[in-house]
Amino acid sequence: MVMETDVHSPAPGGAPLSSPPPPQNGVKWRFPAIHPEGRKFGAIAVAITLLFFILGWTVPGWLMAGISIWVFAFFRDPVRVTSTDPDYLIAPADGLITLIQQVPPPREIAGPNGLGNDPMWRVSIFMSVFDVHINRTPISGTVKQVVYISGKFINADLDKASEDNERQHIVVERGDGLRIGFTQIAGLVARRIVPFVKPGDIVAAGQRIGLIRFGSRVDVYLPAGTLPRVALGQRTIAGETVIARLGEMQAGSGVFQ
């Protein structure tokens, strides 16, 4: 005999059962969109590919076909699902966590109008040329500073890249005055940092704030009293991975396996 149970009635142990989730249509996989910034590069690559085939240069043509696919893939802009918890700090970039260090804040965004002068934890995320390069804000708030610094193009995986390379600092302030700073750093191949925001803009956690062409790094500076939840060698997904919870002093850990 089959018994029917009312989801709103108490369970056998006396505890009420939770209501079922609202009906949803589900989510289907789809090809990610190509950011407008990359369409012109893809069009150029496709044009060169067609020219090679027209000229009868088959081998270079197939090589350029592969490069064309990579260019479009580089500028892919997938949809991300971001937590609405206001105390979560969300990863600003796809990539590999290569450095977690306690350092002074960058001088360009230090001081009373920036991140202060005390040492803070910095989480560095390295983006290879195969990662998504759309960057997102770790927290909701108002963009207080956008500071661009021209520089070199050494390997973004190196610690000194945060001081020597072309970079762009962004500071976002919450309604309660808490500020989070993060830095887009150009790498060996990257030659331009493209901002999508300016001082005074209101942003939501996980919102797109810029991109870097082609291969780079993003540093996030955690406020006092907050330790990173992530570990070295962990991969992050921009707009989704939680790298820290504000006020949480339990550091993350992990094992290579």
Could you read off the pLDDT of 127-143 as tens digits, one per residue? 888 898 899 999 999 99
The answer to whether the beta carbons of residues 118 and 195 sit under 8 Å apart is no
Given a cut of 90, is residue 198 above it in pLDDT?
Answer: yes
Task: Please write the tens of the pLDDT for every residue from 227-249.
Answer: 999 999 999 999 999 999 998 87
pLDDT of 161 reads 56
Residue of 237, 232, 221 lying closest to 254 (CA atoms): 232
Given a cut of 50, is residue 3 above it in pLDDT?
Answer: no
**Residues above pLDDT 70, as percent of the chain:** 82
Torsions phi, psi of 54, nearest 5?
-65, -40
The size of the chain, in residues, is: 257
pLDDT of 9 reads 42
> What pTM did the predictor assign?
0.80
The residues assigned a catalytic role are 216
**Residues above pLDDT 90, as percent of the chain:** 57
The answer to whether the beta carbons of residues 209 and 188 sit under 8 Å apart is no
Locate tokens 């005055």: which residue? 177
Given a cut of 80, is residue 179 above it in pLDDT?
Answer: yes
- Give residue 31's pLDDT band: very low, low, confident or very high (50, 70, 90): confident
Domains of the chain with bracketed CATH:
33-76 (no CATH), 82-245 (2.70.70)
Given a cut of 60, is residue 100 above it in pLDDT?
Answer: yes
Give the range with max mean pLDDT: 16-20, 38-42, 158-162, 184-188.
Answer: 38-42
Residue of 209, 199, 216 lying closest to 165 (CA atoms): 216
